[in-house]
Amino acid sequence: MCGIVALIGSREAGPQLLEGLRQLEYRGYDSAGIATVDPDGLHCLKAEGKLVNLIARFEAEGAPGHCGIGHTRWATHGKPEERNAHPHLDGSGQLAVVQNGIIENHRPLREGLQAEGVRFLSDTDTEVIPHLVARRLAHQETLGAKPSPALLLQAVREVLPGLHGAYALAVVWSRVPGALVVARRQAPLLIGLGEGEFLCASDTPALAGFTRTILPMEDGEVALLTPLGIELYNASGERVQRTPSLLTGTEHMADKRSFRHFMLKEIHEQPETAALWVARHLPEDALVALPLDESVYAGVENIQILACGTSRHASQVGAHLLEQLAGVPTNVFYASEFRYAPPPLRPHTLTIGVTQSGETADTLAALAMERERSQGLADPAFAPRLLGITNRPESSLGRLVPHVLDIGAGIEVGVAATKTFLGQLLAFYGLALAFAERRQGQPGVPDLASLRRLSSQLRGLPAVLRELVEDHDARCAELAHLFAETRDVIFLGRGINYPIAMEGALKLKEISYIHAEGYPAGEMKHGPIALLDSRVPVVSIAVPGMVFDKVLSNAQEAKARDAQLVGVAPACPDSELFDLLLPLPPVEELLSPLLTVIPMQLLSYHIAAHRGLDVDQPRNLAKSVTVE
Ligand code: F6R
């Protein structure tokens, strides 16, 4: 949550900071601000609402200086109002701080400062930081220290150990306009190295237009940036040198092309996501080829998957595949719940963290806890074995776990995950095939011939998806007006398509603000059926296979209560029961989630777009949730 940028160099900082914030707006967009420093002092501008409001202020008022910091906010402490927008200043107005994360002990810190007479202007947790740093600076100055970059660095380093929680932060001080101090603990921060200038940001899109040379900061590191160079210190306070890495490809740039919204563009990119996955991991001469070490598979007896939101729905499909195709008992947990009620440790367990952003605090914390729980045990059967599935291998997840499966979907800007969901599904198909290949002969594992058939059907997926996306885009656009007054929608699915019903409901809720429930179709009659009447549409996913007849019967039960039935099903005599049909091509049930999710995404998209809503930046949400 929240995006931060910081720049120091030879050109005007303001425009570059605003461009960086534009690239990070997906991380939060309820207010934004920048602070620059020049020999005349500190210039701070803030605005409530979207970034355009801040840009308008900058154009009217300006903010000179070659060094500055910026922030786009997703509110945690304090309402989304201008006074709570970052940067936050010390009492003298000379020192400014932006922060992404949560300072968990901000309350006692604030009370202590208030007791000393400090006046707070915001309700945020962050505001304690400028006051604490200013206090350290004042103390050093009473001992004779002169304002200098080193003094600013020292003051920040003295304050950091007293902050509890996760943070990435940047600090400027108008008394040393040629210095910038940045630090991170459990929240992302990367330094971009330009020519005689440095840009620091929460994520690569803000850096990609500036430089391709990046230095991701490690947990606990602090850096002093001046136009002359970087001084980097590790968590133990030692000076460290590291070789920067290069950003490759164009996937780090956000570009909407001719689409009305990023979300629609990203839905249309899914055939390409699948094509890339197939080209990389499903070569003709092998069942599947994943770039994973054999130690990931060897002797695994159980799998547990930790994830949130849409990633959790992909994981539920994954669990179905790992159990039904590879015969490995698999459990999926809400990462946010796992930490507080973990199951007893089991030997030979593979733990998989699934997060498109690689920055979800709940998922990272659950993985870290799992690593610590098992690390202390003498029995090697309990040795931690962690795998991450992500779209951002360079993220915090990539640094936390030893093995990473990169879904390679390219940057996703729309807050509602679409192509990364498909990428996660494909990762699980690959993983289940890889386990099944290694577990031949074990109970419930299909033989190689059946697995090869599945893998060859997966190779044909991009072409099928291409047609499906085009077709359903047009259909859903035509249907959207029928949902203009809708207040509640029920999504039903069974078996491998139950998570897709959940995903359909989540997509609709988050971008259209229509209340929606995803339910296992057979559970309707145990309660939720009481909600049904002619005003509540029911979207039913019915794919020929093990549960087809059952799902149709459940749909009949809904129809008998006057519900409007929308079918996601093949066009066949059975599907005549639906009032509206979003037709599917013939597909094997086990592969069907890769197709059934498309009408879910497009229906939600067009309903929200028809209502004139901000599809890419829905209210109250952010793309990467870096707070617990
Ligand atoms: C919904 C959505 C969220 C995320 C969730 C986890 O469209 O995107 O539910 O899936 O916040 O995010 P990641 O995958 O980054 O861990």
pLDDT > 60? residue 101? yes
What is the domain range of residue 336? 257-459
Residue 543 has pLDDT above 60, yes or no: yes
Is the bond preceding 87 in cis, omega lying within 30 degrees of 0? yes
Q: Residue 53: which CATH number?
A: 3.60.20.10
For position 16, what pLDDT does the model report? Answer: 95
The answer to whether the CB of 508 is under 6 A from ligand 1 is: no
CB neighbours of 158 closer than 8 A, spacing ≥ 6? 136
Spacing, Cα 587 to ligand 1 middle (Å): 27
**Tokens linked to 49:** 């609402």
Q: Whose CA is nearest to atom 12 of ligand 1?
A: 355
Which has more confidence, 250 or 624? 624
The torsion angle over the Cα atoms of residues 154, 160, 166 and 169, rounded to 10 degrees, is -30
Whether 458 has a pLDDT exceeding 60, the answer reads yes
How much is the pLDDT for 250? 52
Query: Left if phi > 0, otherwise alpha if psi is -120 to 50, otherwise beta: which for 80?
Result: beta
- pLDDT category at 558 given cuts 50, 70, 90 is confident
**Region 333-360: what's the mean pLDDT?**
95
pLDDT digits (tens, 9 = 90+) for 494-519: 999 999 999 999 999 999 999 999 99
One domain, residues 240 and 325: no
| Coil vs helix vs strand at 308 | coil
465 lies in some domain: no
343 and 265 co-located in one domain: yes
CA of 200 to the centre of ligand 1 (A): 24
CATH of the domain at 269: 3.40.50.10490
d(C-alpha 407, C-alpha 449), whole Å: 26
* Range with the poorest average pLDDT among 53-62, 250-259, 265-274, 590-599: 250-259
Judge contact between 483 and 318, C-beta under 8 A.
no
Q: Is 350 helix (H, G, I), strand (E, B) or coil?
A: strand
| Structural contact between residues 199 and 7, judged by C-beta atoms closer than 8 angstroms | yes
Of 388, 349, 382, 348, the closest CA to residue 368 belongs to 388
Per-residue pLDDT band at 187 (split at 50, 70, 90): confident
460 CA to centre of ligand 1 in angstroms: 28
Task: Say if ligand 1 is within 6 A of residue 604 CB.
Answer: no
Label residue 252 by pLDDT band (50, 70, 90): low
| pTM for this predicted structure | 0.84
CA distances from 423 to 255, 312, 355, 405, 614 (A): 20, 13, 11, 10, 24
pLDDT at 341: 93
Catalytic residues: 2, 623
Same domain, 110 and 240: yes
Confidence of residue 559 (pLDDT cuts 50, 70, 90): confident
Could you tell me what percent of the chain has a pLDDT over 70?
Answer: 98
Looking at 427, 459, 491, the residue that finishes a domain is 459
pLDDT digit string, tens, across residues 579-604 = 999 999 999 999 999 999 999 999 99
Q: What's the pLDDT score for residue 569?
A: 95
- Residue at 464 is within a domain: no
Q: Are residues 508 and 625 in the same domain?
A: yes
Q: What is the pLDDT of residue 251?
A: 55
| Number of domains within the chain | 3
